[in-house]
Structure 1
Amino acid sequence: MCESGTLSCTGKLARVVLDNRGPLSPSEIAAEANISVPEARKAVEELETTGFAKPVCGLCASQEEVYTLTETGEAFEDESE
């Protein structure tokens, strides 16, 4: 998944969606990114594991965690250039 220190393509896509539209739940990320909900959940898990995203409001009306980027996730694009 992220052993090399880089995000998967889906992880990168979820990070961009969160950066542009977040905070969002995995199902909202899936809709925005045009990927499946399981793919979005896996991407969010990857982002959370690597410290790029964190949950921000527990369970909301959709009964899903809502995630936002961490400072590390926001700075990731700057470091990769």
Structure 2
Amino acid sequence: MDDSTPGEPTPADGEPAPSDEKSKSWYAKHKPKIRVIGGVTLTVSLAVVAYLARQGSTRHEVEDIADYEPASDDEATE
């Protein structure tokens, strides 16, 4: 399968296309920034998931308590 875009001619000598070289050099130049952004994104998303999980368990506890009816005076004295 050919990885080049339809508008680009494939070089006959097997050398990478100019756009491949540009993207590789761009990635190499910005690699530290890309990794930092990826790490920050991962950290924030894990924090959001943990927060939502904690809120979900708290909400269920509150709903469970709210479902109980108060005991009547006769039941309370027994």
Please give the range of the TM-score, normalised by the shorter of the 2 chains. Answer: under 0.3
Pick the structure with greater CA Rg: 2
Q: Tell which has more relative contact order, 1 or 2 (C-alpha 8 A, sep 6+).
A: 1
- Bigger share in helix: 2
